[in-house]
Amino acid sequence: MEALKNAFDFSDQPRLDLTIAGALALFLLIFPLLPVSAFALATMIQFFIFSLYGMGWNTIGGYGGQVDLGKAQYVGIGAYTTAVLLIRWDIPFWFSMPIGVLLAVSWSFIIGYPLFRLSGHYFAIATIATSLVLKDLFEVWDFVGAARGLEISPIAYQPPDYLRLIFKEDIYYYYVLFAFFLVGILYLNWFRKSRLGFQLRAIKDNEDVARSLGINVHWAKIKTYAIATGYVSVVGSFHACYIKAIEPEDTMSLDISILIALMAMLGGAGSLWGPIIGAGILIPLKSYLKEWLGGMAGLAGMDLILYAVIIMLISAKEPRGVWGIVERWRRRKRS
Amino acid sequence: MALLAVENLVKDFGGLRANDDISFTLEKGELLGLIGPNGAGKTTLFNCIAGKHPVTAGRIVFDDEDITALKAPEVARRGLARTFQVYAAAGDLTVRENVMVGCFMRTASRRKARERADAILEDLNLTAAAPQYVSELPVAAQKQVTMATALGTRPKLLLLDEVAAGLNPGEIEEIMASIRHIHHDLGVTVILIEHVMELVMRTSDRVIVIDSGRKIAEGLPDEVARDPQVIKAYLGDRYVQEAGGGEAHP
């Protein structure tokens, strides 16, 4: 009960922030009802997807300071579990999603146990490696369609199929994802104030001191990594039903892992709103940039250059991202 | 029964013997001072007792339990807390949040951790600083916060590593008042590492002197201050003769 109360308790946030957040939530609620293009709606769905990825990343990467560049492998596990179960045994989304979480979290324990013996850059590199290995495995594994991937045929079902999450119009997906988005925020709000959240912030600051306060550093990291994995896997499952055609390249590529970390860092790692802000900036930018540059073949790599510039700016100017700037400004105003 | 017994403790770092055959016991309710010149092995001894370093040889018994092989978090959960010499407190957390991290060792409830943290802060006169970030506080207050955080774990024994280092005389008085309060009113047994001799002499019930990894003296503050070996360790050979020759103070 106390946990539930804490999840809904935003009282430590400044009133201004809550007003803005409330207004934005209202806007997101009515957004699909406004006369917006299909492209805008699809972009907004991508915003939700990456916000949730970012929230998950934020637990271990932001609050815990463990830079994880392998989140895509859990997108893959979630997506493939849902797709395989649906195609082969007609198991609907709401059942396959928890199974996917279970598999992803199990996998996260298996690789988290050795990986968290490493620290700093070595940890980051190792997460990239495990993700790439898993992707390569899926590319040669016939059971999951190898490099061709899997396709969920919409003709086989009668949309709107709420149980299997097969819809024709994006608006359905939008609202399902919006619900996930709100739950994701509530969970993160609980997490940051929970014992584990506090322990993780202490670990990020100084592991020796954390140990002296009775914290099992290794285990706290593994647990949080599992939470992050849960977030990503749920969205991965959703992704399978939404995109309906998944292959290793577009669910598990390094780009996705980096994009997840990048958005959370741009918005502000280790803050409640950071990942949402990051996704809110980068996703529309990425979408529209691609649209505009689509015709110009010579400028195809522009978005990558943009990411590189953002990474450099964050690391040089404000490691805590946009939210770090806001916080710094507030502190200065207070003193 | 002693609260803490260190028996023939040896700690090697490669070829360097940082602690050489150190033994002592500590009764419940004592305030023990641990002094010695720079590099004598005081902090290493703390690190061994608190489970940060594995010991090379010897035994550590805390509260009737052999804790020699335990790691830092396990030692902490048994009621042995410590502060760190160079480290102040997590700058990214507010003062209250810092203390809550300590309190979370004994409870999973955020409400209870918060209540307990607030009680500790009030007790140490830090309530006004509670919502501030630790990095915004002066060094003296940061040191107080580390003590408050350690207290959050409800320790039976508190190891304080040079909490007065780098403070001015006024601040030292304040922190000494806090230490006396923790020891006297809260009933926590304390071991105090200190560089500032005078401070340890005034506060401790008993003093142990370490030099080059060895225990060279132990006793009441007055006795230890007159001990020729201690004077030699701190000031060099020349002063021993003068002190032995009946000088008023070494």
Instruction: Using alpha carbons, list the distances in angstroms from residue A332 to A13, A19, A329, B92, B130.
Output: 17, 22, 5, 15, 18
Residue B223's pLDDT is 84
Strands B206-211 and B57-62: unpaired
The alpha-carbon gap from A181 to the nearest alpha carbon of chain B, in Å, equals 24
Q: Which of A116, A84, A78 is nearest to A256 (CA)?
A: A78
The alpha-carbon gap from B216 to the nearest alpha carbon of chain A, in Å, equals 29
pLDDT grade for B225, boundaries at 50, 70 and 90: confident
Token readout for B124 is 């140490």
B209 and B248 inside one domain = yes
Domain of residue B250: give its range: 1-79+155-250
Q: Which residues of B touch A268 (CB under 8 A)?
A: none
**Among residues B154, B185, B211, which one ends one of the domains?**
B154
Residue B241's pLDDT is 55
Q: How far apart are CA B15 and CA B9, in angstroms?
A: 16
Token readout for B117 is 């943290």
Lowest mean pLDDT among A23-32, A71-80, B198-207: B198-207
What's the half-sphere exposure (Cβ side, CA atoms, 13 Å) at B158? 29
pLDDT grade for B237, boundaries at 50, 70 and 90: low
pLDDT grade for A294, boundaries at 50, 70 and 90: low
Q: What is the mean pLDDT of residues B7-20?
A: 89
Q: What HEC string does B13-82 produce?
A: ECCEEEEEEEEEEECCCCEEEEECCCCCCHHHHHHHHCCCCCCCEEEEEECCEECCCCCHHHHHHCCEEE
Amino acid A196 reads L
- With an 8 Å Cβ cutoff, are A212 and B72 in contact? yes
Token readout for A328 is 């710094």
φ/ψ of B187, rounded to 5, equals: 70, 30
Asked if A201 has any chain B CB less than 8 Å from its own CB, the reply is yes
Instruction: Using alpha carbons, list the distances in angstroms from residue A119 to A261, A268, B30, B51, B174.
Output: 17, 21, 40, 21, 39
First to last CA, chain A: 37
Residue A243's pLDDT is 86
Residue A304's pLDDT is 75
Residue bearing the bigger pLDDT, B160 or B240: B160
- With an 8 Å Cβ cutoff, are A331 and B102 in contact? no
Residues of B with CB under 8 A from a CB of A: 50-52, 71-73, 76-77, 81-82, 84, 87, 90-93, 97, 100-102, 104-105, 107-111, 113, 133, 136, 149-150, 152-153
**Among residues B129, B154, B179, which one ends one of the domains?**
B154
- On whether the CB atoms of residues A235 and A242 are closer than 8 A, the answer is no
Residue A9's pLDDT is 85
Q: Per residue in A136-180, pLDDT tens? A: 888 888 787 877 778 887 777 777 877 787 888 888 899 999 999
B140 and B170 inside one domain = no
**Among residues B137, B154, B171, which one ends one of the domains?**
B154
Residues near B143 by Cβ (< 8 Å), separated by ≥ 6? B83, B88, B163, B164, B167, B175
- On whether the CB atoms of residues B82 and B158 are closer than 8 A, the answer is yes
Q: Which of A234, A89, A80 is nearest to A148 (CA)?
A: A80
- On whether the CB atoms of residues B160 and B192 are closer than 8 A, the answer is yes
B91 and B112 inside one domain = yes
pLDDT grade for A228, boundaries at 50, 70 and 90: very high
The alpha-carbon gap from B61 to the nearest alpha carbon of chain A, in Å, equals 18
Residue A335 predicted with pLDDT over 80: no
Q: What is the mean pLDDT of residues A4-25?
A: 87
What's the half-sphere exposure (Cβ side, CA atoms, 13 Å) at A211? 16
Asked if A335 has any chain B CB less than 8 Å from its own CB, the reply is yes
Number of helical H runs and strand E runs in chain B:
10, 10
**Strand-pair partners of A147:** none
B186 and B247 inside one domain = yes
Model confidence, pTM: 0.88
Q: How many domains does chain B have?
A: 2
* Average pLDDT in chain B: 86
- On whether the CB atoms of residues B4 and B180 are closer than 8 A, the answer is no
- With an 8 Å Cβ cutoff, are A202 and B101 in contact? yes
Facing B101 at nearest CB: one of A2, A193, A213:
A213
- With an 8 Å Cβ cutoff, are A270 and B133 in contact? no
Residue B88 predicted with pLDDT over 80: no
Q: How far apart are CA B3 and CA A9, in angstroms?
A: 43
Residues near A85 by Cβ (< 8 Å), separated by ≥ 6? A91, A95, A96, A99
Buried b (16+ CB within 10 A) or exposed e, B215-250: bbbbeebeebbebeebbbbbeeeeebeebeeeeeeb
Q: What is the mean pLDDT of residues B203-218?
A: 89
Q: What is the mean pLDDT of residues B49-70?
A: 91
Residue bearing the bigger pLDDT, B247 or A146: A146
Residue B93's pLDDT is 87
Instruction: List the CATH number of the domain containing B212.
Output: 3.40.50.300
Lowest mean pLDDT among A136-150, A273-287, B82-96, B164-178: B82-96
Range from B140-149, B192-201, B239-248 that averages highest in pLDDT: B140-149
Can you tell me whether residue A14 is helix, strand or coil? coil
Angle at CA of residue A139, ends A133 and A140, nearest 5°: 100
- With an 8 Å Cβ cutoff, are A214 and B152 in contact? no
- With an 8 Å Cβ cutoff, are B97 and A331 in contact? no
Q: How far apart are CA B141 and CA A212, in angstroms?
A: 20
Residue A104 predicted with pLDDT over 90: yes
**Strand-pair partners of B80:** B157
First to last CA, chain B: 36
Q: Which residues of B touch A206 (CB under 8 A)?
A: 84, 87, 90
Burial class (CB in 10 A: 0-12, 13-18, 19+), A154: middle
Q: What is the mean pLDDT of residues B222-246?
A: 69
Q: Which of B101, B133, B135, B137 to mutate to test the interface with A (most CBs of A within 10 A)?
A: B101
Please state the ipTM of this predicted complex: 0.87
Q: Which residues of A touch B104 (CB under 8 A)?
A: 195, 198-199
Q: How far apart are CA B82 and CA B179, in angstroms?
A: 13
Q: Which residues of A touch B50 (CB under 8 A)?
A: 212
For the beta sheet containing B65-66, the strands, ordered from the edge strand earlier in sequence to the opposite edge, are B16-26, B4-13, B57-62, B65-66
Residue B70's pLDDT is 92
pLDDT grade for A295, boundaries at 50, 70 and 90: low
Residue B244's pLDDT is 47
Interface of A with B in 213-232 (CB under 8 A): 213-217
Residues near A132 by Cβ (< 8 Å), separated by ≥ 6? A254
Q: What is the mean pLDDT of residues B212-237?
A: 82
Q: Which of A161, A184, A186, A183 is nearest to A172 (CA)?
A: A161
Asked if A269 has any chain B CB less than 8 Å from its own CB, the reply is no
Give domain limits for chain A. Answer: 2-334
pLDDT grade for B248, boundaries at 50, 70 and 90: very low
The alpha-carbon gap from B246 to the nearest alpha carbon of chain A, in Å, equals 46
Angle at CA of residue A184, ends A275 and A197, nearest 5°: 75
- With an 8 Å Cβ cutoff, are B73 and A211 in contact? yes
Residue A296's pLDDT is 67
B31 and B121 inside one domain = no
* Average pLDDT in chain A: 87
Can you tell me whether residue B90 is helix, strand or coil? coil
Number of helical H runs and strand E runs in chain A:
15, 2
Residue B247's pLDDT is 42
Percent helix / strand / coil, chain B, rounded to 5: 40, 25, 35
User: Is the N-terminal amide bond of A32 cis, ω within 30° of 0?
Assistant: no
- On whether the CB atoms of residues A72 and A253 are closer than 8 A, the answer is yes
Angle at CA of residue A128, ends A122 and A129, nearest 5°: 85
**Strand-pair partners of A166:** A161
Residue B18 predicted with pLDDT over 60: yes
**Strand-pair partners of B24:** B6
Q: How far apart are CA A176 and CA A165, in angstroms?
A: 9
Q: How far apart are CA B28 and CA B5, in angstroms?
A: 11
